[in-house]
Amino acid sequence: MTRLLAAALALTGLAACAPPGPTATAGKLVVAGYGGSYQEAFEQAVVPEFEKSCSCEVTYIAGSSIDTVAKLKAQKDAPQIDVALIDDGPQAQAASAGLLAKLDPDAVTRLDKVARVARIPGDVGVGFALTATGLAYNTKWYAENGLPAPRKLADLADPRLKGRVVLPSITNTYGVGALILAAREGDGSIDSGFAGLEKVAANAFTFDATADVSNYFLQGQAVATVWGGSRVETLADKSFPISFVYPETGAIPLLATANVVNRAPHPELAQRFVNALLEPGIQERLAAEGYDGPTVTDAHLEPELAKRVVGSEQAAHMQPLDWRDVNSKRAAWTDRWTKEIEQ
């Protein structure tokens, strides 16, 4: 934890989460969230100072959004998780299943600073970071092999990419994004989406369910994929030749949401933790560490950093998904995907 971060947190109000008084007892907060590079950024930018300011211990459980929601369902009668950090699609499922609690405006005092795109109906959770689902490719490999940068998902069906594409599984949010991107490149129907994706899948050597395909790129197995902009930028920071592409038909906004679990073991600490994620200093630090676009209106980024995250201009050209509609059809899509795509 750098002195810069400590100063930023103090200035932006995380310290307002004051240590408990003499009659209070220290808590042990359990947060379930994303793994990989995201976990690294989160544990550097958020956890240490929250533990100090609230005299509590935070346990971070890494997993995909689908994994986290599955845990919430399994623990519904006796929750063991306090805060769930999950993508907007699975979040809608969890909210519909009654697994999430409404945020308390007296505890989550920064809700009025959250941009409309990140507000969730009924304030059952809140978006704390924004990225985009688009394309990622190894710039060095493409250049050496004379391939132009991809402009749309269909470009990943190029026969020269045979066995060099990693595609996300339909079980994670990027997989749904890939299907929707393919549909938008067709006639807009899911049938055209499956038809387009089947062509790309012919080049895939695997379908990843973890949402973190960094190792496939680092080991030279993959040179192209459907992935999130923030994860691409994080890998690029390791001096890896990778670039993110906003598809010509439009990228898909991907909202990371923070949620208090219904009947959480430590509901008050959970509410305060969610509020901490909405502090401008934390949002700015998450952008710097993990390249997630801020969702609060009073966060400010340096110009060079702002170029690497989703800003208001990019967001304006992205078409959000209707997750209620998507989730109502997802079981059927998953069954069809298993038969037609991951054969």
Secondary structure percentages of the chain, helix, strand, coil, to 5: 45, 20, 35
Give yes or no: residues 7 and 110 share one domain: yes
Half-sphere exposure of 55 (CA within 13 A, CB side): 8
Pairwise CA distance, residues 68 & 96, whole Å: 15
pLDDT, position 259: 98
| Residue 211: domain span | 133-251+318-340
Largest Cα–Cα distance in the chain? 68
**Residues in the chain with pLDDT < 70?**
1-26
Q: What is the pTM of this model?
A: 0.77
Which candidate, 173, 169, 167, 166, places its Cα nearest to that of 133?
173
Report the CATH number that the domain containing residue 49 is assigned in CATH: 3.40.190.10
Half-sphere exposure of 104 (CA within 13 A, CB side): 12
Pairwise CA distance, residues 67 & 106, whole Å: 30
Give yes or no: residues 327 and 197 share one domain: yes
Pairwise CA distance, residues 101 & 91, whole Å: 12
Cβ neighbours of residue 57 under 8 Å, at least 6 residues apart?
26, 27, 28, 29, 51
Give yes or no: residues 15 and 100 share one domain: yes
Bridge-based pairing state of the strands 224-228 and 165-168: parallel
Give yes or no: residues 271 and 148 share one domain: no
Give yes or no: residues 332 and 205 share one domain: yes
Q: pLDDT by residue (tens digit) across 285-340? A: 889 988 989 999 899 999 999 999 998 778 777 777 888 899 999 999 999 999 99
Assess contact for 34 and 61: CB atoms under 8 A: no
pLDDT, position 316: 73
Total domain count, the chain: 2
* Sign (positive or negative) of CA dihedral 55, 56, 60, 66: negative
| 190: its two tokens | 């899911």
pLDDT, position 68: 96
pLDDT, position 19: 41
Give yes or no: residues 114 and 258 share one domain: yes
pLDDT, position 115: 86
Within 10 A of 326 (CB to CB), how many other CB atoms are there? 17
Give yes or no: residues 139 and 85 share one domain: no
Give yes or no: residues 15 and 27 share one domain: yes
Assess contact for 266 and 72: CB atoms under 8 A: no
In this structure, the chain runs to a length of 343
Give yes or no: residues 156 and 125 share one domain: no
Give yes or no: residues 11 and 115 share one domain: yes
Give yes or no: residues 243 and 258 share one domain: no
pLDDT, position 321: 85
Give yes or no: residues 233 and 94 share one domain: no
